Amino acid sequence: MTKHSHIIGGSTADRLLHCPGSFSLIQRLPQQIEVPSEYAEFGSHCHAVMDCIAQAFTDGLPDERTMAEYAAELEGDHIYDRVLTVATLADAILPAIETLYELMDIYGGDFRVVANELRVRFPGVPGAFGTTDLLLSNGKYMLLVDWKFGQGVPVKAVYTDPAGDLVNPQLMFYLAASLNTVPKFFKKHQFVVAIIQPRTEERLTHTAVTRKEAKDFVEDVENAIIAALEPNPPFQEGDHCRWCPAHPVCPLKTRALFEINEGGAVLPPRPVPANSDDGSYGAFLAKAKRLADYAAEYKKAIDEALHSYMENGGKVPGWKLKLKGKLRQWIDEQVVDPELRRLGFKTEDIWQTKLQTFAVADKAAKRLGVKIPEHLRVAPESTETTIALESDPAPAIDYDTVDADFREALTLLQAK
């Protein structure tokens, strides 16, 4: 079997393109066995469910209702590492199917499954493989669909950075690899790449991609690999740093920890009234805030690296592993309720009722095809302030023009 490339894959393409220096740092880290998180395992379960559904309709896609009914029939089946539950169907699988049909409608409908879970080979890089989730085609378009089942971090098909719009590099990797592996599928079609992430607010993002853009991406990857293998490869910070295992040893991250203390321990300058400040205190606070944010990120990265290293058998002086404490929880409610009543508990002492969260209500509204009236949800008027980056779209408070009542309220709050 061909050995997988260590330098690039679908999930690492973004990092390599933006920060070639990360490759050499990662290669110097001790090899560790990755232990998938529960979130990753849930995602793999959902991917496997969608794979089962796609395999059932390779001869032609039915209408949305028929596919949803087929998915519902899988309830109770053991798929991947767990049983498919009603909750997972309602929260992830059925919304994914609904969103898939929205995507197909946008591009004219009448699609068929070309391939699902297709292993594809990226051109020019030995061992650079990936797996596309779903390829669909009609007479005009080839859709490359990537499932994402996380609900914490939204993943988009297109991002905007200082250089302009950027198609998700993972999608571009899969598209370029598909063009290289099964070129006959793409001869007469326009290409569309899409992310379907049903457990987030924006469930669908998609964009058309030209053959030239795919070719340019391959060249960009080649240039990034050349840069990564140079003696002094370039480093760059950005969103691609989020999952980088070299975070704890990255020179851009660790350097920030020493910026303020270059000449020894430096105490903050004494605050002065804003109207007489020459700007030095504000400059210090900007630098200190950057340091504090980096320190928080650095602590998280170090904790994760230490934990992973020790779980793989590594020894860290002064530290050990222990079982994680778990909060106690009730056993079966059908057992708890009568036992507590026997002890004299009343119904209100045992049960509580409250309105569902906005997120749950919004999902129910989409399922019912209704819109929740805006007057039912209000934000209390605020007289408090909070800090924000200048890039934040919210308007800044201007103390030169703010009305006297609001200024007085702020003064009272600050005096508390």
Residues in a beta bridge with 142 = 137, 191
- Is 198 a residue whose pLDDT tops 70? yes
Candidate ranges 232-236, 245-249, 263-267, 271-275; pick with highest mean pLDDT: 232-236
Mean pLDDT of 284-299: 76
For residue 1, the model assigns a pLDDT of 34
For residue 69, the model assigns a pLDDT of 93
pLDDT digits (tens, 9 = 90+) for 40-80: 899 999 999 999 999 888 888 899 999 999 999 999 999 98
User: pLDDT averaged over the chain?
Assistant: 82
Instruction: Identify the residue with better confidence: 194 or 288.
Output: 194
For residue 192, the model assigns a pLDDT of 94
For residue 119, the model assigns a pLDDT of 92
In sequence order, what are the residues at sequence separation of 6 or more whose Cβ sits closer than 8 angstroms to the Cβ of residue 307? Answer: 321
Other CB atoms within 10 A of residue 358 CB: 10
One-letter amino acid for residue 64 of the chain: E
pTM: 0.67
pLDDT-based confidence at 394, cuts 50/70/90?
confident
For residue 410, the model assigns a pLDDT of 52
Ramachandran region, residue 398 (left: φ > 0; alpha: ψ -120 to 50; beta: rest): beta
Question: Percentage of the chain with pLDDT > 70?
Answer: 83
pLDDT-based confidence at 396, cuts 50/70/90?
confident
Instruction: Identify the residue with better confidence: 144 or 260.
Output: 144
pLDDT digits (tens, 9 = 90+) for 93-134: 999 999 999 999 999 988 999 998 999 999 888 888 889 999
In SS3 terms, the chain reads as: CCCCCCCCCCCCHHHHHHCCHHHHHHHCCCCCCCCCCHHHHHHHHHHHHHHHHHHHCCCCCCCHHHHHHHHHHCCCCEECCEECCHHHHHHHHHHHHHHHHHHHHHCCCCCEEEEEEEEEECCCCCCCEEEEEEEEECCCEEEEEEECCCCCCCCCCEEEECCEEEECHHHHHHHHHHHHHCHHHHCCCEEEEEEECCCCCCCEEEEEECHHHHHHHHHHHHHHHHHHCCCCCCCCCCHHHCCCCCHHHCHHHHHHHHCCCCCCCCCCCCCCCHHHCCCHHHHHHHHHHHHHHHHHHHHHHHHHHHHHHHHCCCCCCCCCCCCCCCCCCCCCHHHHHHHHHHCCCCHHHHCCCCCCCHHHHHHHHHHHCCCCCHHHCCCCCCCCCCCCCCCCCCCCCCCCCCCHHHHHHHHHHHHC
Q: Are 196 and 206 in contact (CB under 8 A)?
A: no
pLDDT-based confidence at 178, cuts 50/70/90?
very high
pLDDT digits (tens, 9 = 90+) for 162-177: 667 789 999 999 999 9
For residue 383, the model assigns a pLDDT of 64
Range with the poorest average pLDDT among 135-139, 275-279, 353-357: 275-279
Mean pLDDT of 290-315: 82
Instruction: Identify the residue with better confidence: 34 or 235.
Output: 235
Domains for the chain: give ranges and CATH numbers: 13-228 (3.90.320), 246-267+277-326 (no CATH), 330-416 (no CATH)
Token digits of residue 63? 């209408």
